[in-house]
């Protein structure tokens, strides 16, 4: 064995039995929208907590003809996105793209692309903490019971207490949402900006949590409602009066950049592909 310096890894790294096992969990997750399906997560050459859940889903569903896009913070060129792509390419040799429309599979950390998605596409999230109820209950056995009995009172009490103490709901990203009127899910964490995109979407959303060993799904055309109280509706991040410093967009999620001029800060689109195409469009005057 030790003379084998040309060791060959299997297509998409994982062995075939493992991939089949994970695909079965995905099917179960699609059948029960929002339900966290436990799975026997494997160790990958990428750290636990760096996207191994999403990665295991990608590696299990990927084929030789798949075109893949990977983003982190909305950015194709962010270090972690580049690194995940590097592993996938080195073990599959598949084609990658930055074009949202061209991709069959999009793996993402923290964002949904600004461009709309289609029935043909699978959107895969990397999830650090899949349990939305962990905010109010540390024990897994108890949160599983709460999901089983749809006992979500504690969660609404948290929202109420937030309003009592702070005047509004304090949850930023990873805003809890009710799927198919049944299960509350952790929304990856994507910003609140992206949460409405999960609702009645054309594409399939898959969520993979490697370290926590859970897979869940929001199938196409499934109702997803962010939790809210009647007099305190769900609100997205407020970027009113701000625009992207590169493409001038006023309707995309913006990252704030502390800078020495421009009143101390400037803004830029978090979705790098969207920003680039938007800039080209405005140049062309179309």
Q: Which of residues 216-235 bind other proteins (CB under 8 A)?
A: none
| Residue 68 C-beta: closest distance to other proteins, Å | 16
Number of Cβ within 10 Å of residue 54's Cβ equals 27
| Residue 120 C-beta: closest distance to other proteins, Å | 26
Is residue 48 at the binding interface for other proteins, with CB under 8 A as the rule? Answer: yes
31 is catalytic: no
d(CA 191, CA 270) in angstroms, rounded, equals 11
**What's the sign of the alpha-carbon dihedral 33, 39, 44, 50?**
positive
34 is catalytic: yes
How many residues interact with other proteins (rule CB under 8 A)? 74
Is residue 139 at the binding interface for other proteins, with CB under 8 A as the rule? Answer: yes
Decide: 207 and 194 in contact? Cβ < 8 Å: no
d(CA 242, CA 248) in angstroms, rounded, equals 9
**45 HSE (CA, 13 A, CB side):** 13
Q: Could you say which of 69, 75, 203, 205 contacts other proteins (CB under 8 A)?
A: 75
Q: Could you say which of 228, 255, 276, 279 contacts other proteins (CB under 8 A)?
A: 255
Q: Which of residues 96-115 bind other proteins (CB under 8 A)?
A: 109-111
Q: Could you say which of 16, 102, 120, 151 contacts other proteins (CB under 8 A)?
A: 16
230 exposure class (CB count in 10 Å sphere: 0-12, 13-18, 19+)? exposed
Site string for other proteins, 51-70 (x = CB under 8 A): -x------------------
Return the SS3 of 38: strand
- Find the catalytic residue in 25, 244, 245, 248: 244
- Find the catalytic residue in 25, 34, 53, 54: 34
Decide: 123 and 204 in contact? Cβ < 8 Å: yes
25 is catalytic: no
Q: Which residues are catalytic?
A: 34, 244, 247, 269, 275
């Amino acid at each position: 064995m030790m003379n084998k310096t040309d060791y060959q890894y299997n297509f998409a790294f994982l062995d075939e039995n493992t991939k089949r096992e994970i695909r079965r969990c995905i099917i179960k997750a699609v059948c029960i929208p929002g339900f966290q399906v436990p799975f026997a997560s494997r160790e990958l050459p990428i750290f636990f907590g760096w996207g191994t859940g999403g990665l295991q889903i990608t590696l299990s569903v990927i084929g030789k003809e798949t075109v893949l896009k990977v983003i982190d913070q909305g950015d194709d060129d962010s270090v972690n996105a580049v690194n995940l792509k590097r592993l996938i390419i080195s073990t599959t040799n598949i084609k990658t793209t930055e074009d949202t429309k061209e991709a069959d599979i999009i793996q993402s950390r923290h964002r949904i692309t600004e461009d709309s998605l289609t029935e043909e596409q699978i959107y895969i999230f990397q999830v650090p903490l899949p349990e939305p109820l962990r905010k109010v209950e540390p024990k897994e056995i108890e949160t599983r019971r709460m999901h089983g009995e749809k006992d979500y009172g504690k969660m609404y009490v948290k929202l109420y207490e937030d309003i009592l103490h702070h005047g509004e709901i304090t949850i930023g990203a990873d805003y809890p949402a009710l799927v198919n009127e049944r299960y509350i899910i952790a929304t990856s964490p994507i910003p609140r900006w992206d949460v409405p995109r999960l609702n009645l979407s054309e594409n399939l959303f898959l969520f993979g949590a490697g370290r926590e060993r859970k897979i869940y799904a929001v199938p196409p055309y499934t109702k997803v409602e962010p939790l809210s109280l009647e007099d305190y509706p769900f609100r997205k991040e407020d970027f009113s009066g701000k625009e992207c410093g590169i493409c001038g967009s006023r309707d995309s999620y913006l990252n704030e950049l502390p800078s020495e001029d421009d009143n101390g800060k400037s803004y830029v689109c978090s979705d790098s592909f969207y920003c680039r195409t938007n800039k080209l469009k405005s140049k062309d005057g179309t």
